[in-house]
């Protein structure tokens, strides 16, 4: 062993306990400042910093990387917290895929009822051993398709469209059942891909359709409401297990307060975003026969249950919560 290694090892041994004692937490968020989720996270950070010894910092705008990468980083405790959609969580924690099944919730109220009650506990129990503790559930409204080619009125209108989806094979299957071609892609790449015609469209809620500027380059938004996917305010299990009980209570309370704020801001932002995209010339159309889309999703459920037979009871628990 040369002196350098000895010196390096000595420094590491001395610094490690100090780093743990400092309890600085870094958090990931994909959305820009001012978005409902970002404002709610700012509130969470301020409340935790005021009521505990922790020192939280949140990084907005996805500057700490893509969502699938950030989920891994929180699992590995390279980041201590993040605000995640359950869509990209599915490939990592299979139980959470149930939340990404098309039309699994009849509406946002159903989703709230399920996630705030016993059903939420099913997902928390599946996530914690995988390195992620969900502390509160945020709203992400419902997702619908948008594209640059034509309004979608019936499933046949999706045929041949190249659509970006979040990173999860379930969404690839979902689009395939409608005759479209799905491309999983990071959120940050979608605008440019729409602009250059690499893809024809994507799917999201009004606030994200608006905040990303996707409405500028994909002006037909068709209200299919095919996905209602909750999002979590999540902490790494390692960081969480390091806390004493009083701090855990304070952090959880702050997370739940932030979720209440997020849901209020969300409802307001949905309306604002819809007005903004329509004023800018986007054409938003209602879809009269949503059941036609729902019926096309039967094979998605069959395929999912064929490879995850134990998920039938979770689907039933969600249905029972309605």
* Contacting residues toward ligand GTR, per CB under 6 A: 30, 67, 85, 87, 140, 166, 187, 204-205, 208, 231
Residue among 247, 306, 274, 291 nearest 80 (CA): 247
CB 238 within 8 A of CB 300: no
Concatenating the DSSP letter of every residue in 61-83 gives TTTT--HHHHHHHHHTTSSSEEE
* Smallest distance, ligand GTR to C-beta of residue 11, A: 38
Query: Shortest approach of ligand GTR to residue 143 CB, angstroms?
Result: 7
Q: Which is nearer to ligand GTR, 128 or 189 (CB)?
A: 189
Q: How far is the CB of 205 from ligand GTR (least distance, A)?
A: 5
Strands 143-147 and 220-227: antiparallel
Nearer to ligand GTR, 79 or 243 (CB): 79
β partners of residue 28: 59, 82
The DSSP code for 284 is: E
* Nearer Cβ to ligand GTR (52/211): 211
Whichever of 146 and 220 has its CB closer to ligand GTR, that residue is 146
Give me the sheet containing 181-184, strands edge to edge: 181-184, 162-165, 201-204, 143-147, 220-227, 283-286
In the complex with ligand GTR, the residue whose CB is nearer, 52 or 261, is: 261
CA distance 217 to 202: 11
CB of 230 to ligand GTR, least distance (A): 10
Q: Yes or no: say if 143 and 205 are a contact pair by the CB < 8 Å rule.
A: yes
Q: 65 vs 248, which CB is nearer to ligand GTR?
A: 65
Q: Which is nearer to ligand GTR, 87 or 102 (CB)?
A: 87
Which of 242, 238, 248, 256 minimizes the C-alpha distance to 44?
256
Closest separation between CB of residue 174 and ligand GTR, Å? 14
Q: Which helix H or strand E contains 227, and what residues bound it?
A: strand 220-227
The residue among 141 and 219 lying less far from ligand GTR, judged by its C-beta, is: 141
Task: Give the Cα separation of 255 and 21 in Å (integer).
Answer: 23
**Secondary structure of residue 54 in the 3-state scheme:** coil
Min dist CB 315 to ligand GTR, Å, is: 22
Answer for the pair 219, 209: CB distance below 8 angstroms, yes or no: no
* Closest distance to ligand GTR from the beta carbon of 250 (Å): 26
CB of 24 to ligand GTR, least distance (A): 24
Reduce the DSSP state of residue 206 to 3 states and report it.
Answer: helix
């Amino acid at each position: 062993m040369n002196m350098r290694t000895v010196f390096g090892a000595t420094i590491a041994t001395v610094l490690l306990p100090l780093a743990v004692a400092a309890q600085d937490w870094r958090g990931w968020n994909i959305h820009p400042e001012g978005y409902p989720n970002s404002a709610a996270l700012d509130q969470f950070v301020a409340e935790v910093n005021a009521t505990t010894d922790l020192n939280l910092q949140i990084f907005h705008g996805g500057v700490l990387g893509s969502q699938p990468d950030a989920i891994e980083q929180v699992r590995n405790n390279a980041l201590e917290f993040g605000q995640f959609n359950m869509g990209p969580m599915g490939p990592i924690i299979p139980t959470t895929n149930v939340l990404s099944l098309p039309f699994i919730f009849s509406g946002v109220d159903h989703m709230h009822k399920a996630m705030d009650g016993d059903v939420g506990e099913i997902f928390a129990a599946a996530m914690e051993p995988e390195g992620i503790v969900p502390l509160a559930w945020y709203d992400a409204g419902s997702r619908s398709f948008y594209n640059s080619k034509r309004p979608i009125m019936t499933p046949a209108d999706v045929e041949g469209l190249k659509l970006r989806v979040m990173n999860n094979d379930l969404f690839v299957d979902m689009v395939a059942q409608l005759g479209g071609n799905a491309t999983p892609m990071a959120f940050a790449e979608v605008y440019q891909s729409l602009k250059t015609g690499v893809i024809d469209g994507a799917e999201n809620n009004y606030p994200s359709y608006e905040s990303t500027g996707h409405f500028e380059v994909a002006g037909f938004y068709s209200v299919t409401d095919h996905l209602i996917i909750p999002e979590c305010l999540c902490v790494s299990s390692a960081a969480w297990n390091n806390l004493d009980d009083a701090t855990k209570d304070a952090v959880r309370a702050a997370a739940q307060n932030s979720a209440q704020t997020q849901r209020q801001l969300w409802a307001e932002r949905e309306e604002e975003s819809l007005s903004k995209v329509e004023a800018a010339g986007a054409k938003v159309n209602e879809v009269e026969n949503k059941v036609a889309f729902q019926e096309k999703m039967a094979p998605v459920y069959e395929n999912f249950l064929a490879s995850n037979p134990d998920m039938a009871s979770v689907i039933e628990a969600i249905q029972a919560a309605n």
